[in-house]
Structure formats: C-alpha cells, structure tokens
Amino acid sequence: MKILVTGGLGYIGSHVSVLLLEKGVDVVLVDNLDNARIEVLEQIERITGKRPSFEQVDLKDQSRVEALFETYPDLEGCIHFAAHKAVGESIEQPLLYYENNIGGLVNILKPLTRQGIPLIFSSSCTVYGQARELPITEETPLQPSTSPYGFTKQMGEQIIQDSCKANPNFKSILLRYFNPIGAHPSAQIGEYPQGVPQNLVPFLTQTVIGKRPLLNVFGSNYDTPDGTCIRDYIHVMDLAQAHIESLNYLLSSKQNSSCEIFNVGTGRGASVLELIQEFERATGEKVPYELSAPRAGDTVAAFADVTKIEKQLGWKAQFSLQEALKSAWDWEQQIHVLS
Ligand code: UD1
C-alpha cells in the first residue's frame, strides 16, 4: 500500500510516517522544508530501518502537485499535515495562512477527488473555541474563530465536506486533535519549534533545561478548580496511532458517511499547574514558573468526549500524561545534545 504524507517531516507527520513504515506501508513523504528539517528524514530511517520516498514540493505550486500524482500513480490514501500552525503569526500575516493552508489544501484536493484517493485531514479542537458544555463532542457547535489559523481549520473542514458531497467516489476523515505533546520513545524525533515556543510543553522543557529563565503560567484566576486553564493533552504516539486506525477505517469501506469527524484526545482535562506537577513527578526536575497575566484569546477549558472514536475506530489513548511529559523531556535533552 502506498500513502502520501504531506508535511511528513513535521512534528505529527514524522510520527505518523514512522508508524506507517513500521506497518510495511510505502510512504511518499512530501514537505517544503519551510518549518521542518531534512535531518528528520534520516531519523525516520534510523528508527524504522526504511527510507520513505521524499519529494520537496510546495503544495502552493499546483503544477508540482499534479506532477507528484503523475510520478506516483498508485497512491491509495493521503494524510495531509502540511500547514502553518502559529496562532499569533496568523494574526500578523493572515494572507500567508490563507494562501498556504487553504491554497495547498485546494491544490491537493483536485487530484485526490479526481482519482478518488481518500484523505485524512489534520483539524484541531480550536474549531470549537470556548465550548459552552464540556466534554466536547463532535456535535458541539463550532464558534467563530479568533484567528486566521483557526479559520483555516474550519474552512478546510468545510471545503473537504463540500468536496465529498460533490464527488461520490471521494471519502475523508477529519481528525480534530486536542493538545498533542511528547515525542517518539527513541527520542530521535519530536517537536522542534523555531524561535520561542508558543505552546506550553516545549516552553516548559526549554525552561527546565535552562534555555528560558522562567515559565509564565498564563492566568491563575480562571473559573477552574485551581484557577489555571484546562486542556486535553495527548501523547503524539497515541495521536499517530489514531491516524493508522483512521486509515484502516477509510480503506475498509465501513464508513457511515463519506466525510466523518472524530475528536482525538484522552477525554481527560489537566490544568497548567497539574501539568507542571505531573512533569516534576515524571522527571524529578523542578519547573521554575510564576503565575502571570492571562494570554489574550485563550480558551479557559477544553477536553474531548472520545466516545465516537473509541466506538467506531476502536482507538483509545494508551499513554498517561506523565509518560507523555517524560518523553517530551527525553526529547528536549536529546536536542540539547544535538544543538
Ligand atoms: C494553541 C492554539 C491553538 C492551536 C494549538 C496547536 C492559542 C490561543 N491556541 O492551543 O489554536 O491549535 O496551540 O498546538 O494559541 N500556557 C502557559 N504558558 C505558556 C504557554 C502556554 O501557561 O508559556 C498555557 C496556555 O494559557 C494554555 C495551555 O498552557 O492554557 C496550553 O497552551 P498551548 O500549548 O499554547 O495550547 P492551546 O492554547 O490549547
């Protein structure tokens, strides 16, 4: 079986590529190297003993995308990760986000829909905004997004749903990720933020290793048990496995409808302070932090109802928060050695 993985050198794409290769799937990995390092290809090969086909293609280039499908006429599925993902940057440079995230998606949908190649799309729990009720199910109403990044996820979902309606031989699964953290157990691949990390866990591990003086806990007077925000943190290996189950499901023709949506989380919420405590327990390290002002635009609490994915795909998160945090720490120490 041959599967196209766009953004395959990125954080989640690299972990999914490893699992696919380990299952004997032929992976065609595409990346424009905008926000990923070519070294990840070597690391994927080191972990799996297999080298995926690699094409440096920018999905904004329609002719290169079409040429890609001519080079690989026997693709059986596509997992589409290639997108920008920084909320703040998307507010500063909205056109960059619309052009890349929407333009790239449209370009790849043309050959996919024409050839009836099924698609798994990386969506995000950001589409729910601050949900009125928790946990969040797939039926929870979406809120207007507060950033162009969030809009590209909502629009991306809509574009794919419309494409499924218009093309009876085209199927898709939209995966709404909650908060992916952690790294491969080998500590050979993981999240590699460029510049100052915006997300909690890479900022935390960089602080503990001494790259940053202090972790700011954004907001401590929220209406939550300890006053800090709550999220559903999921180990990237669990998230990667959810893609494998989604692919099996897509290819097995068991789907109820041509476009299905699944939340991918653990179903458990953890506050920022709980996460810090769990990190300290898992690693024996002390986290230097201080309580500071809330971050504009933050959702107070979000965690998933995972009933649908458990029932339909038979997938369930296996790793604990401590295991995920320990793997993030192992990875941080590894990058420290490399850099
Ligand atoms: C953020 C994005 C979301 C995106 C996701 C991708 C925002 C508002 N949301 O989600 O759209 O899909 O990343 O992974 O940017 N925190 C701190 N100190 C820090 C960093 C974060 O206290 O230095 C807190 C935040 O306030 C939040 C929690 O940690 O409560 C998680 O933050 P983060 O990792 O940035 O994820 P989200 O905000 O959930």
Predicted confidence (pLDDT) per residue in 301-317, tens digit: 999 999 999 999 999 99
Query: pLDDT tens-digit profile of 91-123?
Result: 999 999 999 999 999 999 999 999 999 999 999
Report CA(50)–ligand 1 centroid distance (Å): 34
Nearest CA to ligand 1 atom 22: 217
Q: Do the Cβ atoms of 260 and 295 come closer than 8 Å? A: no
Say yes or no to pLDDT of 256 above 80. Answer: no
| pTM for the whole structure | 0.97
Nearest CA to ligand 1 atom 18: 217
Instruction: Say if 115 falls within a structural domain.
Output: yes
Q: In angstroms, rounded to a whole number, what is the distance separating the alpha carbons of residues 339 and 13?
A: 22
Instruction: Say if 103 falls within a structural domain.
Output: yes
The single residue of 97, 128, 149, 233 carrying the catalytic annotation is 149
Nearest CA to ligand 1 atom 34: 199
Is 149 a catalytic site residue?
Answer: yes
Q: Do the Cβ atoms of 188 and 334 come closer than 8 Å? A: yes
Report CA(60)–ligand 1 centroid distance (Å): 28
Q: In angstroms, rounded to a whole number, what is the distance separating the alpha carbons of residues 311 and 19?
A: 22
Q: Which domain holds residue 45?
A: 2-179+234-265
Ligand 1: does its nearest atom lie under 6 Å from the Cβ of 293?
A: no
Instruction: Please confirm whether the linkage preceding 52 is cis (ω < 30° from 0).
Output: no
Report CA(274)–ligand 1 centroid distance (Å): 15
Instruction: Say if 36 falls within a structural domain.
Output: yes
Q: How does residue 254 score in pLDDT terms, banded at 50, 70 and 90?
A: confident
Nearest CA to ligand 1 atom 5: 179
Instruction: Say if 61 falls within a structural domain.
Output: yes
Total of domains in the chain: 1
Instruction: Say if 188 falls within a structural domain.
Output: no
The residues, ordered by sequence, that sit 6+ positions from 32 with a Cβ below 8 Å of its Cβ are: 56, 57, 58, 59, 82
The reported pLDDT for the residue numbered 321 is 98
Instruction: Say if 284 falls within a structural domain.
Output: no
Ligand 1: does its nearest atom lie under 6 Å from the Cβ of 26?
A: no
Helices and strands, number each (H, E), in the chain: 12, 13
> How many CB atoms within 10 Å of residue 128?
25
Ligand 1: does its nearest atom lie under 6 Å from the Cβ of 218?
A: yes
Radius of gyration of the chain (CA): 19
CATH of the domain at 68: 3.40.50.720
Q: Which residues pair with 231 in a beta bridge?
A: 270
Question: Is 53 in a helix, a strand, or coil?
Answer: strand
Instruction: Say if 45 falls within a structural domain.
Output: yes
Report CA(280)–ligand 1 centroid distance (Å): 20
Ligand 1: does its nearest atom lie under 6 Å from the Cβ of 237?
A: no
Report CA(109)–ligand 1 centroid distance (Å): 30
Helix (H) or strand (E) holding 163: helix 148-166
Instruction: Say if 88 falls within a structural domain.
Output: yes
Query: pLDDT tens-digit profile of 148-186?
Result: 999 999 999 999 999 999 999 999 999 999 999 999 999
Q: In angstroms, rounded to a whole number, what is the distance separating the alpha carbons of residues 66 and 117?
A: 14
Say yes or no to pLDDT of 336 above 80. Answer: no
Mutate to test the pocket of ligand 1, among 152, 179, 226 (most ligand atoms within 8 A of CB): 179
